[in-house]
A and B are shown apart, each in its own frame.
Chain A
Amino acid sequence: MSPDLVLDPSLKVWVLLPISAVMILVGILRSYVTNLLQPLPKVSKWRDVREQQQLQKARLFRGNSHVLVSKKEFLNRQAYLYEALTSGKYLKNAVKQNKDQMPNPLSDPNASDAMFNMLKSNAANFIPQTVIMWWINYFFAGFIIMRLPFPLTLRFKSMLQQGIDTPDLDVRWVSSLSWYFVTLLGLQSVFSLILSSSNAVQVIQQQMPAQMGMPGQPDMAKVFAAEGESLQVAQFKSSTDSIEDRILDSYKL
């Protein structure tokens, strides 16, 4: 069966190639724009660091107190850590404004920062897509631009012939809008070839929704108090108890 349609060869030069080239160029541009929009790494505040590390220290003490040899050492340290935790001298904000009220996540500058960053990366993703789609729809609406060299089943019709309403047309003909979709989804490997590998990773990353920070952190004063309580009930058992016998046993003496 001879093809029932004859495509103008200038379609290839003036439609197919421009769409592909624009898609690639926009993709590269987008990856650089996202790079620029990436938030700068932040220096953590020393009060935050101290709060976190002191809390972690108390937790580690509970887990690792077996390294101490005598109970006296354990009790000394336990009393000191309990005092440090409950007196609140390592808390980030020493004075709490209102204890019962959950802090509003929208008023917290750190939380809104995270949301704004997410918005930025999403904008870099969907704005160029909207613009290109508008451009294709405006100039090349209803164009058939190529014919696939292999036959396909009818199921592919909706994928390959978007924007043209001809139910009897062979599935092998591809419309301009469909070509746009195919390139949008299929250019990932081309980008990883053109861009260096680390940039390509970011292209993939930005297509996933950015992780949002947990809004509303727990009240640290309460966390400290709870840790202090579990510290108080901690039991002491040294790993060096009867170690002499253990060693002698293991060497059969």
Chain B
Amino acid sequence: MATKDRLLKLYAGGQHVTMSPEKLNDVYSLSKQFTALLTSSKNSYCSEIEYFQLMELQFYLALQTNHDVEAKKCMDIMTDRFNINESEKLIGLRALYLQATVGNEQAFQLLKQSGEIATRGSTLENTSEDLLHLKKRAVLVHQNDPPEKYVEMLLKFSEVTPLDTSVWKELADQYIKLNHYDKAINCLQEILLIQPFAYNIIALLAETELQYIKQLESELKGPGAYVIKDKLREVRISCRRHFLRSVELCSNYARGWSGVLAVTSQEISPQRDTTEVKLHHLATQRLKEIQEKKLSSDENLKYVTPILTKYQS
């Protein structure tokens, strides 16, 4: 019972996307054993819906850990039960499989064809525009295209489904890649308006603002320095407050405290007032405590020491 619940929780939460390779491997082998057990003896222990949810999870895990054959097996089990030509979700999964194993072009072709087939079918009387799930996948297939085109497609999609946070995150990532930090900040704020207590996104937003500060500082010597100076002051405040908000929501958040330490250091804000000095002191203290008591994950703790040595005054 416990294994099933754990895996279903993982399926609902999707933590497997950001797991470390060792942990992912563990989960994969657990899920593999469990689904093999379920497939060999169908019983009332697990309802049909749960069974196929676990199958889908196993499919993702297999793709992530490079087990193509296992992924194909899960795919086939799902295809046996559902109609591949009419199930949007299944077509999406199939495209994901092709994207991971063969290439983007083939995946896009499949999506295009399936969209046409589904439109022609008698049960789905609509244009392929309506197949939002498919459309999203079609957009994501274009990841390797020129970024401007990809961003344009993402923007169009985000207009139709403005509540899809994954699209906003993807957009923010693209903007950061293109050095458009102000636009990335906007996208991250969009996510926060939907999920106001996502402290990791708040910290990410603050980090982006930190990048933006550096970008603005490099432009200070150019024309319009007065406007930029004004903007810089605003972004500095907003950056500090966002880092503080993230550690207010999660008091052991090493990333947030590192940000507080950095943003209140001499290097980033040369003219510090007493509050900033106090905050700097507090951040140092908290980070040391987190490090000593191991309050954060090992990956995060790895970064704490270099940050402490860099920004400690």
Contacts and interface: CB of A to CB of B under 8 A. Distances in A.
Contact of A57 (B163, B196, B282): B163
B100 interface: no
Contacts of A70: 234, 237-238
A248 B279 contact: yes
A196 B43 CA distance: 9
B244 A196 contact: no
B276 to A, nearest CB: 8
Interface stretch (B8-16, B144-152, B154-162, B217-225): B154-162
Nearest to A48: B130
A46 B196 contact: no
Nearest to A63: B196
Interface string A64-77: 11111110110000
A43 B245 contact: no
B282 A247 contact: yes
Interface string B227-262: 000000010011011101101100000000000000
B114 to A, nearest CB: 13
A65 B242 CA distance: 14
Contacts of A72: 234
Contacts, number: 96
A185 interface: no
B287 to A, nearest CB: 13
Contact of B245 (A44, A64, A243): A243
A46 B160 contact: yes
Interface of B: 44, 47-49, 88, 123-124, 126, 129-132, 135, 159-163, 189, 192-194, 196, 202, 234, 237-238, 240-242, 244-245, 247-248, 275, 278-279, 281-282, 286
Interface of A: 40, 43-46, 49-50, 53-54, 56-57, 60-61, 64-70, 72-73, 196-198, 239-240, 243-248, 250-251, 253
23 contacts: A43-B88, A43-B124, A43-B130, A44-B132, A45-B126, A46-B160, A50-B160, A53-B163, A54-B162, A57-B162, A57-B163, A66-B196, A67-B193, A69-B238, A70-B238, A198-B47, A240-B241, A244-B241, A244-B244, A244-B279, A247-B247, A251-B282, A251-B286
